[in-house]
Amino acid sequence: MPRPRKVVVTQRFFDDRTQAYLRAQGVEVVLPPLPPGKADGDLDHDTLVEMLTGASGWIVGHARVTRALLEALPDLQVVSRRGVGYERVDLEAARDLGRVVAIAAGGNDASVADHVIGLMLAVGRRFRESQQRMLDGDWSILMGSDLCEKTVGVVGLGRIGKSVVKRLSGFDCRVLVHTTRPDPAYAEATGVAFVALAELLARCDYVTLHAPLTPATRFMIDASAIQAMKPGAILINTARGGLVEDAHLLDALRAGRLGGAGLDVFVSESDPAYKPISQALLALPNVVGAPHAGASSREGLERTNLVAARSVVAVLDGVDPAPECVVADGRPGR
């Protein structure tokens, strides 16, 4: 019997069903222990090399996949993200070295979209402020605002953006969308309106971000964009830290320019110099924060685990993963 193919998983919460699926495909599943309180994004180059030596597949979370790391792992055929972002992966190096990089497309759409709606409701209805006041002995009622019949701006219209639009229909919201690829048929079917970013910011009571982080979108919501927003609007960012200039957001919230913010991602995730800014944002009563947890429901993680695992198996079998999952393919002839 051939030696089992080795796949290393550097993520917590890797469910039994997905592990069973991999083993049924002749895969040896290795889940190395992570240091307490640490994720794979906190591991250094040497630690990752030690964990991954001899592996033919890697199911990864937020670790940086560098050219040097790939060069040190000649047996590694496929890097499969349990998630949809890939800005921490050197795609050019992966192609140059004949590797495949995949994402778990479609696995966490519902979970993140639910999270977005939850943040809108939590900030708009002032859940955090109300509970803290009650804990302090003040049971007076704070006036919040409805999501129902509000104008909501969706920036970026990928799978998660579309899932958010679908949920907003239940709140009878008017939805404005800014995207680089307007779709008239989608607008006709859903009733959304495609508009320029400046118009969206000026008109919307809630603005939720679903764009990828690229050089063009970095700090797309800065002091100028915030100044253009409707006074009292609520900003939601569950996409990527770096779409929002958190220092400018902090200034605007302290000045009362915005009504609040729901933040699942922060610039400090990739730039430690912003850590004090993140802490100051989280200390504000009208900010509801989470530690990049939008996809981390039990059901969402099980779905993304399985999507990531299927991409690994496909590559090890010498076939193509689902096309929507492949972001780099350096195999000959691809």
Q: Which residues are catalytic?
A: 240, 269, 292
Query: Taking the CA of residue 8 as centre, how many other CA atoms within 13 Å lie in the half-sphere pointing to its CB?
Result: 22
Task: Identify the residue whose tokens are 């790939």.
Answer: 70
Nearest-CA neighbor of 238 among 141, 122, 93?
Answer: 122
CA distance 98 to 172: 49
DSSP SS3 for 244: strand
Kindly write down the DSSP assignment for every residue of 65-95, as one continuous string. B-HHHHHT-TT--EEEESSS--TTB-HHHHH
Q: Which helix (H) or strand (E) holds 251?
A: helix 246-254
Is the separation of the CB atoms in 153 and 176 below 8 Å? yes
How far apart CA 215 and CA 70 sit, in angstroms, is 24
Give the Cα separation of 299 and 143 in Å (integer). Answer: 34
Q: Is residue 208 within 8 Å of residue 153, measured between CB atoms?
A: yes
Hey, is 103 helix, strand or coil?
coil
Q: What residues contact 305, with CB distance under 8 A and at least 6 apart?
A: 11, 13, 14, 15, 18, 59, 82, 104, 107
